[in-house]
Amino acid sequence: MEKQTIDSMVGVLDARMNRQLKQYMDICARCAICKDACHQYVATQDMKYLPARRAELLRQIYRRYFTKAGQFLPALYEAREPDENLMDELYESTYACTGCRRCTYYCPFSIDTGWITSVSKGVLIAAGRGNEMLGQLADAALFKADNMDVFDEIIVNGFKDVVRELEEELGRPVAIPVDKQGADILYVALAGSHSIKPAAVIFDAAGASWTLSKFEAANYGFFFGDPAKAKLIADRFMNEAKRLGVKEVVITECGHAYRVAEMFYEAWAKEKMPFKVRHILEVIDEYIKDGRITVDPKGIAEKVTYHDPCQIGRNGGIYEQPRDIMHAIAPDFVDMTPNRETQWCCGGGGGIVAMEEFNDVRLKSGGKKVEQIKATGAKLLACPCENCRLQIEELSKVHDLGLRIVPVMELVAEALR
Amino acid sequence: MSDVTPDLELDLKGLLCPMPMVRVSQNITNVPVGGVIRAVATDAGSMADIPAWAKSTGNEVMSAEKVGGEFVFFVKRIK
Amino acid sequence: MDWFSYLTSGIGVYVALVVFTGGMAWRAWQWSRTPKSPVRLALYPKPKTGPGRFGKLLVDTFAAPQSFKIAPAIMVAALLFHLAALAAFVGHLRLVHEFTPLVAVLGVDGMNTFAAWSGGAAGIIMLVAVLYWLGRRTFGAYKNLSVPEDYLLLALLLGIVLMGDHLRFVGGLHAATYQAWFASLMAFRPAFPAELTSSVTRYALDWHMLFVDAFLIYFPFSKLTHAIGAFATNAVRTGE
């Protein structure tokens, strides 16, 4: 590889270096306890999907350029100058990782492979080996934001269509406020109407003061592995929230978008936001408990189960609210085993659903989730993350599960009285 | 656009954003430079997404129209 | 002392202790001057209060209950090894100063019997654990994960434990002999007492110490820095 390329890779690693990463690089014992935690390794037994191996590939570069020991005795540590072979393996191992952090949960040192692969992505981007599709999706989102004069009308017209569809479906008007100064809530949805309609119905029923963001919550800059782009993409709705003076930003049923907004954004922006960030399910749970909306306790008569998206559950701490909601509307709610912090990743996270080249490992890695769903006997699955839904829908087709997979809020809207 | 014969037809109905944009992007190299993809989507978000994708990747959306409940795109591969 | 004994059981001990202490301090300093990750990397659920989080940090670090659930065999080996190593370390303190209260209770013979049993058990457990790890690393499905560093550390441990076990089971010398040598080390005039110089057991001691010295010298530059690093990384898991 050219020296210039290596220099920029090392530069990125240096810029992204922090205490946690350094410790993860220094202390991993390569005990491989993580092997049985990873849905991809369990499904394929392929070394490049072993969490410790994913980290080891970055460690080889770290050892070579950031430690004296690795410079003096490269063979002892397998410290390596990056070459095309290393980059090929790093690419496959890194972009395949769904960032579910199930390995982190089981690691005796809590080594965060998801965090390590996010840095590896930065190194790959510096070498011109970032995933093209995720890069394009990130750029398209930024292009929209930079050219709002062109897209504003298209987007607002799209919202008007949603209002018309809702009125046809419900036989009564439901407003979707946009750009409403001083609203309590800025609701950040996805580009599709499926993430807007049920929320609008619920906000309407609760008499909430809300306004819909013109920007989608999805953040392909985060999946791509470029924190600067990820911040710019999140800036769009965070700045909108500041401009409108809302009390809270509510993120739709999307896993990574919630984590970006709640766990990462303030650190990236280096400022405290004048509003709080919540997931829509926290809000709906509160509405039900406070009696602001009334739901039919038998509203969902069918047997239904729930999938914990990693970014909302293990990485976001939202376990009980969705379950309380399900118990409030569905008498035949059953949990999967395992669930909550030990639940299996469905295999669809980290932007992998948009990367065709990983289709094979993605579908194989869903095997555990398929077993779990089958064991519940439910044909209805509530799932508050778009990437999980895309993945499980495909798994349902491939394995002929005949599942109906819906956002939790859609069931709540169905059960509203 | 009825006078344009597409090199590839993509049925993106039922796909939610950003998947329509993803499918167009994945298929753009399946037509020759100067070739045209005709894509039909049902997700309203694609009306902004596909033009934004085209602009940021240097391709061209020749037309984007709403026909009934569907969104019809003619996308030309430029490079 | 001949030159080899002097190298391994004399001057080598000082060098090893200086490198170990300095190296670990340097490593901790290196970590501390690297800024913390600004983003929140905690795993959920986690305790809400400070003391609760600290308690979980201790449990995660010393008992790793999650790891036990997913990989019981390796964790049993790891726990037994670490406990045996701790027991062996405590037992070795007898060379610095006789455990007088224990001797008062057990008597001199009783103390020697107790030390023989406890030290022997620790030595055997460590040997079995090291052999198990070596086998797992060499023949496991994921053997390609291993790097030479892993084998070097296991080889050093194997050397330490084999030679230690030899001293315990075959050497035939009692604690008082080693105490005399240790006293000379602490007085900075390393010398072997006559019982050692006249016994072939001193070769076993020399090799034991060679491995110990190398192990301590290499420790700060290896993955064994998890001895202190694991507290920090597990704290991130429960962090705010």
Q: Give start and end residues of each alpha helix (H) in A270-407.
A: 280-289, 320-329, 359-365, 367-376, 386-398
- Whose structure tokens read 């046809």? A168
Catalogue all structural domains in chain A, each as residue range(s) with its CATH number.
3-130 (1.10.1060), 134-289 (3.40.50), 304-415 (no CATH)
Structure tokens given for A69 = 């020991």
Lowest mean pLDDT among A19-33, B14-28, B29-43, C1-15: B14-28
User: Does any CB of chain A come closer than 8 Å to the CB of residue B25?
Assistant: yes
Q: Is A337 on the interface with C (CB under 8 A)?
A: no
Mean pLDDT of chain A: 96
The answer to whether A267 faces chain C, any CB pair under 8 Å, is: yes
Reduced 3-state DSSP string for chain B:
CCCCCCCEEEEECCCCCCHHHHHHHHHHHHCCCCCEEEEEECCCCHHHHHHHHHHHHCCEEEEEEEECCEEEEEEECCC
DSSP helix/strand/coil, A1: coil
Q: Does any CB of chain A come closer than 8 Å to the CB of residue B47? A: yes
ipTM of the shown complex: 0.95
Which residues pair with residue A276 across a beta bridge? A248
CB contact under 8 A, A106 and C78: no
Strand partners for B60: B76
Sorted by sequence, the CB contacts under 8 Å of residue A217 that are 6+ apart come out as A188, A189, A190, A237, A251, A252, A254, A257, A258, A261
Examine the residue annotation and report whether B16 is marked as an active-site residue of this protein: no
pLDDT of residue B68: 84
Span A89-102, average pLDDT: 97
Taken in order A122, A126, A129, A132, is the CA torsion positive or negative? positive
Residue with tokens 């990367």: A355
pLDDT at C100: 86
Phi, psi angles (nearest 5°) of residue C99? -75, 80
A touches C, CB cut-off 8 Å, minimum 3 pairs = yes
Query: Closest to C148 (Cβ–Cβ): which among A24, A75, A268?
Result: A75
Q: Which pLDDT band, with edges at 50, 70 and 90, does C161 fall under?
A: very high
Contact A309, A389 (CB under 8 A): no
Residue ranges of domains in chain C: 3-33+71-230
Average pLDDT over residues A204-230: 96
Distance CA A163, CA A157 (A): 10
Q: Do B48 and A192 touch (CB under 8 A)?
A: no
pLDDT of amino acid B39:
94
Contacts of A264 in chain C (CB under 8 A): 39-40
CA quadruple A252, A254, A256, A262: dihedral positive or negative? positive
Dmax over CA atoms of chain B, in Å, equals 32
Touching, C vs B (3+ Cβ pairs under 8 A): no
The first and second tokens of residue A11, run together, are 């530069």
| Look-up of token digits 């379950």 | A323
Domains of chain B, start order: 8-76 (3.30.110.40)
Question: Which pLDDT value is given to residue C172?
Answer: 85
Q: Give the best residue of A41, A110, A111, A113 to mutate against chain C (max C CB count within 10 A).
A: A110
DSSP A248: E
Whether residue A268 lies within 8 A of chain C, CB to CB, comes out as: yes
Whether A178 has its CB under 8 Å from any CB of chain B: the answer is no
Nearest to A133 by CA among A357, A366, A311: A357
CA B3 to chain A, closest CA, distance in angstroms equals 25
Q: What is the CATH number of domain C3-33+71-230?
A: 1.20.950.20
Q: Is the bond preceding residue C193 a cis peptide, omega within 30 degrees?
A: no
pLDDT above 80 (res C141): no
Nearest to B25 among A136, A192, A216 (CB): A136
Nearest CA in chain A to B25: A133
Assess A337–B contact: CB distance below 8 Å, yes or no: no
Query: Using CA atoms, how far apart are residues A393 and A334, in angstroms rounded to an integer?
Result: 19
- Residue A218 sits at the chain B interface (C-beta within 8 Å): yes
CA distances, A30 to each of A80, C28, C140, C148, C215 (Å): 17, 21, 12, 12, 18
Question: Which residue pairs from B53-59 have beta carbons closer than 8 angstroms and sit at least 24 positions apart in sequence?
Answer: B53/A136, B53/A137, B53/A140, B53/A143, B53/B21, B53/B24, B53/B25, B55/A140, B55/A143, B55/A147, B56/A136, B56/A139, B56/A140, B56/A142, B56/A143, B57/A136, B57/A139, B57/A140, B57/B25, B57/B28, B59/B28
Q: Do A77 and C147 touch (CB under 8 A)?
A: yes
In a mutational test of the A interface, the residue from B42, B43, B56 whose CB has the highest number of chain A CBs within 10 Å is B56
Spatial neighbors of A273 by CB under 8 A, at least 6 apart, are: A238, A241, A242, A249, A265, A266
* Inter-residue contact A163 to A175 (CB < 8 Å): yes
Phi/psi at A301 (5° precision)? -75, -30
Residue B78 reports pLDDT greater than 80? yes
> Which residues does chain A have within 8 Å of residue B12's beta carbon, measured at their own beta carbons?
none
Instruction: Locate A359 and state its tokens.
Output: 């289709």
Q: At residue B17, does pLDDT exceed 90?
A: no
- Distance, in Å, from the CA atom of A98 to the CA atom of A357, rounded to the nearest integer, reads 14
Question: Rounded to two decimals, what is the model's pTM?
Answer: 0.95
Q: Tell me which residues of chain A, numbers 80 to 119, contact chain C at a CB-CB cutoff of 8 Å.
A: 101, 104-112, 115
- How far does the CA of residue C194 sit from the closest CA of chain A (Å)? 41
pLDDT confidence of residue B2: 64
Give tens-digit pLDDT for A358-399: 999 999 999 999 999 999 999 999 999 999 999 999 999 999
Of B47, B51, B55, Cβ closest to residue A158: B47
What subunits touch chain A, counting only 3 or more CB pairs under 8 A? B, C
Please give, rounded to a whole number of angstroms, the shortest distance from the CA of A110 to a CA of chain C.
5
Read off the pLDDT band of B19 (50, 70, 90): confident
Query: Average pLDDT for residues A107-131, to the nearest whole number?
Result: 97
Nearest CA to CA, how far is C208 from chain A (Å)?
23
Nearest Cα neighbor of A297 from A323, A327, A322, A329 is A329
Of C41, C142, C230, the CB nearest to A20: C41
**For C197-208, what is the mean pLDDT?**
94
The answer to whether A395 and A363 have CB atoms below 8 angstroms apart is: yes
Catalytic hit among B8, B15, B17, B19:
B17
Which residues in chain B have Cβ-Cβ distances shorter than 8 Å to A405?
Answer: none
3-state helix, strand, coil in chain A (%, to 5): 60, 5, 35
pLDDT at position B48, please? Answer: 87
pLDDT classification of C226: cutoffs 50, 70, 90: very high
